Chain A
Amino acid sequence: MKIGVVAVQGDVREHLAALERLGVEPVPVLKPVHLEGVSGLILPGGESTAIWRLLAWSGLVEPIEELHRTGTPFFGTCAGMVLLAKEIVNWHERFFGFIDIAVERNASGRQVDSFEVTLVVRGIGEVPAVFIRAPYIRRAGPGVDILAEYGGNPVMAREGKVLVASFHPELTDDLRVYELFLKMCG
């Protein structure tokens, strides 16, 4: 199975390494042609504004929208979650909007407030979670399953074939969140 990782900017290497450890073929996506034959697509951590511009300037926005239309599963961590959300409460741009949630960018604060914690994820159990200038979910549509909360803030959610997390499973050795995503990819 081939899983794509959007590779225009961000912590791509960590996502590729996690996928490799799980025995699937990771594909860094820099051009539309790299999307051919992927069974799922990951949007990594990074700066959402930079990633979005680079996707647009690299001609990747439409091909990725097409991938979503044809039912390919998506997984976004941190900036990836911002890019997949339908609405961003504190930003004037709207990105892919594949999942019916409103997120607040940098909701956990500036870098001095970034933290790590043990999180309880529904269906998985305790997971080490690194939050870095993290977005939180402020509203979720009726079809959205909230899978984890921290301090009363929803931080992981799934709607159909779209999975999002405020934190960075790619920065820890725990692969169970990826296993959940790979199950969605079939």
Chain B
Amino acid sequence: MLKGTYRVKTGFAEMFKGGVIMDVTTPEQAEIAETAGAVAVMALERVPADIRKQGGVARMADPKRIKEIMKAVSIPVMAKCRIGHTAEARILEALGVDFIDESEVLTPADPFNHIDKWQFKVPFVCGCRDLGEAARRIAEGAAMIRTKGEAGTGNVVEAVRHMRILNDQIRRLRDMSRAELVSYAKELGAPVEVLEMIQELGRLPVVNFAAGGIATPADAALMRMLGADGVFVGSGIFKSSDPEKRARAIVLATTHYDDPELLAEVSEDLGEPMPGVAIEEIPQEQLMQYR
């Protein structure tokens, strides 16, 4: 009997496909997410919009908070650790969280390296802005990828940018000869073996969700149209005026993304969405995606 194998990790991520993973900060929010049809919740102390507003160092959530959320719901519970913070990741693994997000939304802990994720039984999801970043994270053992977008903005433009870049680069990779692939690996800073695998499959070898700025059912549907296997919604649900209704609408829109009539129906009368931020208004050093 083998635990924590790559197949067990990536296989678990396959189960999320077509689904919505929602940020929650309390057991009550977790229950709302479960009732609305979330496939998993992300247990946090502050949603990205608040992290952005309050500033300071954002760290792993209090284990007590995470345990309360794990107790409240039957669906999988994810939690975030800082980039490169192996000790936070070990703590989350010991708590029994089902997935760790090594996330740029928290303040990075290691200026040089990400976590060596092969050393863990628990699977990891990591963010990417392009194919090079995705391939490096996969080489480090990530069992799932998400495009980063710009978290806490309620603005989908960066999520779209990252998904379009990724799609375009995979499309170019498909037609490359071996020699071109090696040179492309150098350009991207990506391992040759991972690019070979992606070339053969014609897609990433792991599930790829969209994240960072998704605030409406239409945003979720757009990301699915661009090829995302599912979506993470951070601040978009519990920073809106009617979280229950919006959560359910986003779940339905993620599944039925190519049914415009249904999208029109679920988008109706959802109350106020979270307030959005124009990316140009954010000082460069406060953008989370470059972490």
Q: Which residues of A contact B (CB under 8 A)?
A: 7-14, 30, 45-47, 49-50, 53-54, 57-58, 78-79, 90-91, 105-106, 110-117, 130, 132-133, 168, 171
Say yes or no: B39 contacts A9, CB within 8 Å: yes
Say yes or no: A106 contacts B74, CB within 8 Å: yes
The segment from B13-21, B167-175, B282-290 found at the interface with A is: B13-21
Specify which chain B residues have a CB less than 8 angstroms from the CB of A12 in the assembled complex: 17-18
Contacting residue for A112 out of B3, B17, B252, CB 8 A: B3
Asked, given contacts A47-B75, A57-B252, whether A10 binds B8 with beta carbons under 8 Å apart, the answer is no
Contacting residue for A50 out of B12, B75, B122, B259, CB 8 A: B75
If A30-B256, A49-B75 are given as contacts, then 17 extra A-B residue pairs at C-beta distance below 8 Å, sorted by A number, are: A10-B19, A12-B18, A46-B16, A53-B36, A53-B248, A58-B252, A58-B256, A105-B74, A110-B97, A111-B98, A112-B4, A112-B93, A114-B8, A114-B12, A117-B1, A117-B2, A132-B12
A171–B252 Cα gap in the complex (Å)? 26
Say yes or no: B256 contacts A47, CB within 8 Å: no
Asked, given contacts A9-B255, A47-B19, A47-B75, whether A133 binds B12 with beta carbons under 8 Å apart, the answer is yes
Specify which chain A residues have a CB less than 8 angstroms from the CB of B37 in the assembled complex: 49-50, 53-54, 57
Specify which chain B residues have a CB less than 8 angstroms from the CB of A47 in the assembled complex: 15-16, 19, 38-40, 75-76
Min distance, Cβ A94 to any Cβ of chain B, angstroms: 14
Instruction: Annotate B1-34 by CB proximity to A: 1 below 8 A, 0 otherwise.
Output: 1111101100110111111000000000000001
The verdict on B136 contacting chain A, using a C-beta distance below 8 Å, is no
A79–B123 Cα gap in the complex (Å)? 20
**Chain A to chain B: the 7 pairs with minimum beta-carbon distance, closest first:** A111-B98, A53-B37, A9-B18, A11-B14, A47-B39, A50-B37, A110-B96
Specify which chain B residues have a CB less than 8 angstroms from the CB of A54 in the assembled complex: 37, 251-252, 255
Specify which chain A residues have a CB less than 8 angstroms from the CB of B232 in the assembled complex: none
A12–B259 Cα gap in the complex (Å)? 18
Residues of B within 8 A of A (CB-CB), count = 38
Instruction: Annotate B115-139 by CB proximity to A: 1 below 8 A, 0 otherwise.
Output: 0000001110000000000000000
- DSSP class of B's interface residues: helix, strand, loop or mixed? loop
Specify which chain B residues have a CB less than 8 angstroms from the CB of A116 in the assembled complex: 1-2, 5, 7-8
Say yes or no: A114 contacts B39, CB within 8 Å: no
Mind listing 14 A-B residue pairs with CB under 8 Å?
A: A10-B19, A14-B14, A46-B39, A47-B16, A49-B74, A50-B39, A112-B122, A114-B12, A115-B2, A115-B3, A115-B8, A116-B1, A116-B8, A132-B15
A47–B11 Cα gap in the complex (Å)? 13
Specify which chain A residues have a CB less than 8 angstroms from the CB of B123 in the assembled complex: 111
A6–B5 Cα gap in the complex (Å)? 27
Specify which chain B residues have a CB less than 8 angstroms from the CB of A114 in the assembled complex: 3-4, 8, 12
A13–B183 Cα gap in the complex (Å)? 32
Min distance, Cβ A130 to any Cβ of chain B, angstroms: 5
Min distance, Cβ B98 to any Cβ of chain A, angstroms: 4
A47–B259 Cα gap in the complex (Å)? 22
Say yes or no: A49 contacts B12, CB within 8 Å: no
The verdict on B99 contacting chain A, using a C-beta distance below 8 Å, is yes
Specify which chain A residues have a CB less than 8 angstroms from the CB of B256 in the assembled complex: 30, 58
Specify which chain B residues have a CB less than 8 angstroms from the CB of A110 in the assembled complex: 96-98
Specify which chain B residues have a CB less than 8 angstroms from the CB of A49 in the assembled complex: 34, 37, 74-75
Min distance, Cβ A33 to any Cβ of chain B, angstroms: 12
Min distance, Cβ A68 to any Cβ of chain B, angstroms: 22
Say yes or no: A171 contacts B7, CB within 8 Å: yes
Say yes or no: B19 contacts A132, CB within 8 Å: no
Most buried by B among A50, A106, A110: A50
A53–B12 Cα gap in the complex (Å)? 20
Within 8 A of A (CB), among B83-104: 93, 96-99
Specify which chain B residues have a CB less than 8 angstroms from the CB of A58 in the assembled complex: 252, 255-256
Asked, given contacts A50-B38, A53-B37, A112-B122, whether A130 binds B11 with beta carbons under 8 Å apart, the answer is yes
Contacting residue for A91 out of B15, B40, B74, CB 8 A: B74
Say yes or no: A10 contacts B15, CB within 8 Å: yes
